Amino acid sequence: MPLVSTGELVTRARSQGRAVAAFNVITLEHAEAIAAGAERAGEPAVLQISENAVRFHGGELTALAAATGAVARASSVPLALHLDHVVSRDLLHAAYTEGFSSVMFDASKLPYGDNVKATAEAVRWGHGRGIWVEAELGRIGGKDGEPPLDAHAPGVRTDPAEAAAYVADTGVDALAVAVGSTHAMTERTASVDHALIAGLRAALPVPLVLHGSSGVPDDGLRAAVAAGMTKINIGTALNTAYTGAVRAFLEAHPATVDPRAYLVPAREAMAGTVAHFLAVVRG
């Protein structure tokens, strides 16, 4: 099946009051597992590569992007490619040359005015090339191995009035908002503010994106979608499944040297996790 665009998947989901899940790709096995899980669930999905993952591959996006694109094109369900948490302008520009339909430009660590300026520039650049641009306002913690931010501290969450001005001033296509989730949680104990999601949904003309969704329990995710979240980003849950399967296999088979022996169950564990999240997000 040909690749579809993230904008197309998200726009359709929003018009139906539904959501689309986006999963992080670090290795080829992640991409294969996401495609397998999506096929199993019979749902579309977004495969996203973050600036962090590019750094892991020595700063080279081309090989992982090409492999992920090939996996997506071979799938029987619609899949889209997205570049995630992009800070570097060079990587932003690579979204176009490497065939991504969308990018999340992350200027959230900058003061408000600088975030608006940098994001508006990224949006102008992206829209000139047909690229859908997501941005972030508020502070969703736990990125880049940084210490987790207290998602419940005052001033951390996205304010609906400020977000409405931000969307108008930047022209972004979707907004990642801070509503109580944080990145890299390995326990699903995050408490998301569903009333704030509903307020943001009412205040903003663009789809909302939930980051750090691995830490949100199934019921919390369902309620987040019902309240107005349209793109649900999931990364750590795949790594928890992957590493758990590798650890269990090697404990049971300590003499193993062929990585395929433990990557098969690792990939299968990730595919099961993907299918599970897709079923939850579908409602």
Per-residue contact flags (x/-) with ligand G3H for residues 98 to 137, judged by CB under 6 A: ----------------------------------------
Is 231 an interacting residue with respect to Zn ion (CB under 5 A)?
A: no
| Exposure class string for 38-63: b at 16+ Cβ within 10 A, else e | bbbbebbbbbbbbbbbbeeeeeebee
**By the rule CB under 5 A, 211 interacts with Zn ion:** yes
Report how far residue 151's alpha carbon sits from residue 145's, in angstroms, rounded to the nearest whole number.
Answer: 16
Is 174 in a helix, a strand, or coil? strand
**Alpha-carbon distances of 225 from 71, 180, 233, 250, rounded to whole Å:** 28, 14, 12, 38
* Contact call for residues 77 and 54 (beta carbons, < 8 A): no
Helix (H) or strand (E) holding 223: helix 218-227
- Specify the pairing of strand 79-86 against strand 45-50: parallel
Regarding 267 and contact with Zn ion (CB under 5 A), the answer is no
236 near ligand G3H (CB under 6 A): yes
Q: d(Cα 13, Cα 40) in Å, to the nearest integer?
A: 19
**Least gap, CB of 47 to Zn ion (angstroms):** 14
> Of 208 and 245, which has the nearer Cβ to Zn ion?
208
**Given 68, 102, 230, 233, the residue binding ligand G3H (CB under 6 A):** 233
Pairing status of strand 79-86 against strand 20-24: unpaired
For 202-214, b/e burial (b = at least 16 CB within 10 A) is ebbebbbbbbbbb
In terms of DSSP H, where are the helices of 98-155? 112-127
**Looking at beta carbons only, is 78 or 215 nearer to Zn ion?**
215
Known catalytic residue: 84?
A: yes
**Contact stretch for Zn ion (CB under 5 A) within 54-62, 93-101, 113-121, 206-214:** 206-214
DSSP conformational letter for 147: P
Instruction: Locate 12 and state its tokens.
Output: 């359709």
139 in contact with Zn ion (CB under 5 A):
no
Judged by CB under 6 A, the residue of 6, 230, 235, 266 near ligand G3H is 235
The span of 37-45, 54-62, 208-216, 257-265 binding ligand G3H (CB under 6 A) equals: 208-216
Of the candidates 26, 152, 153, 128, the one whose C-alpha atom is nearest the C-alpha of residue 84 is 26
Q: Which does 236 bind (CB under 5 to 8 A by kind): ligand G3H, Zn ion, none?
A: ligand G3H
State the binding string over 211-230 for ligand G3H (x if CB under 6 A, else -): xxxxx---------------
24 belongs to the binding site for ligand G3H (CB under 6 A): yes
Binding mask 232-261 for Zn ion (x = CB under 5 A): -x----------------------------
Binding region for ligand G3H (CB under 6 A): 24, 84-85, 183-185, 211-215, 233-237
Positions marked active-site? 84
Binding region for Zn ion (CB under 5 A): 211, 233
